[in-house]
Structure 1
């Protein structure tokens, strides 16, 4: 292809913008135009953004490009959006519903074991994201089938593991160490 590998960075940014635009449009149609059915179609198209990025990365590599840090970043972006996307959309839906329909939605700070369990659930999503990242990296490496062309991806086999470690330290372990009991006990 006739472009520099840096187009992948621009594409990742464009996919992030597309994610938020689709989210905004989906909720605008749902709550401003009161058309829940059409909003579901818009929100259901959000995963197509990830699919588009994946296809573009594979086409880029098929053209003979060497895998770069950007290709690994694309895998990380896809991994985290797949693992956390539905949860984010559900949260945004509740917030929009409370703003536009007047329903009560307030997030209460979790304390005690509830906070630890919530952090463990988020950490499990992080592990899922990392599993997706590793799967994509292995597929990219197998697809290219030239260790010289995928050498830049080696760092991406370390970064996600480090992320899981830090997430555990500053998530569930942090909640456990600084365990807060409810004040009404």
Structure 2
């Protein structure tokens, strides 16, 4: 199963890079959208492979749990990841100035809170998929997936504390 997760991640970034290359180097914006639209299809293929693997009798492993996290994160952060890649592509390959500015103070706090919202959204999507899958497979073979979900729950709580801390203790601009 882990090979399918790695393959999905590689295909995800290949699709994004192909979209950026098509948009900025080949100057074909319409075609670039096709590559960006491949990313949710890659996600669907990974979840389908996970379900098929489990329905064929495989014992649920940590890798199956990670594939579900991958889907939730990809859906919740997909646009953000594409925006990040777009900025990096323009900065490193097209030698343009980065459009991202460093955030400080309350602005940084609100940004972190927004990112926490994305994490909660990813967790909600992943949780629904987790529990749907767990209802259709042998309950005796689900402990590894349940553990992945528990760890992700703890990670979400830690992320929440850290994100809220940016509002309570705003980051100050570096003085040079």
Q: Which residue does 2:159 correspond to in 1?
A: 167
- CA distance in 2: counterparts of 1:180 and 1:76, whole angstroms: 30
Give secondary structure in 1 for the equivalent of 2:140: coil
- CA distance in 2: counterparts of 1:77 and 1:117, whole angstroms: 25
Q: Which residue does 1:5 correspond to in 2?
A: none
Note if 1:111 corresponds to 2:104: yes
CA distance 1:102–1:66, change in 2 (3 Å):
closer
* TM-score normalised by structure 2 residue count: 0.89
Q: Which residue does 1:157 correspond to in 2?
A: 149
Q: Which residue does 2:3 correspond to in 1?
A: 10
Structure 1 unpaired stretches of 5+ = 1-7
Contact 2:110 2:167 in 1 (8 A): no
- CA distance in 2: counterparts of 1:96 and 1:150, whole angstroms: 41
Q: Which residue does 1:48 correspond to in 2?
A: 41
The CA deviation at 1:99 is 5.6
- CA distance in 2: counterparts of 1:153 and 1:94, whole angstroms: 35
Give secondary structure in 1 for the equivalent of 2:63: helix
CA distance 1:77–1:54, change in 2 (3 Å):
same
- Among residues 155, 160, 179, which one is paired with 2:170 in the alignment? 179
Structure index of larger Rg: 1
- CA distance in 2: counterparts of 1:168 and 1:85, whole angstroms: 20
* TM-score normalised by structure 1 residue count: 0.85
CA RMSD of aligned residues (A): 2.1
Contact 2:60 2:145 in 1 (8 A): yes
Give secondary structure in 2 for the equivalent of 1:41: helix
Cα deviations across residues 34-71 of structure 1 (Å, max 9, x unaligned)? Answer: 11111111111111111111010111112122212111
- CA distance in 1: counterparts of 2:170 and 2:83, whole angstroms: 27
Aligned residue pair count = 175
- CA distance in 2: counterparts of 1:180 and 1:166, whole angstroms: 18
Cα deviations across residues 46-102 of structure 1 (Å, max 9, x unaligned)? Answer: 111111110101111121222121111111111111111111112322443456666
- CA distance in 2: counterparts of 1:101 and 1:65, whole angstroms: 46
- CA distance in 1: counterparts of 2:131 and 2:16, whole angstroms: 30
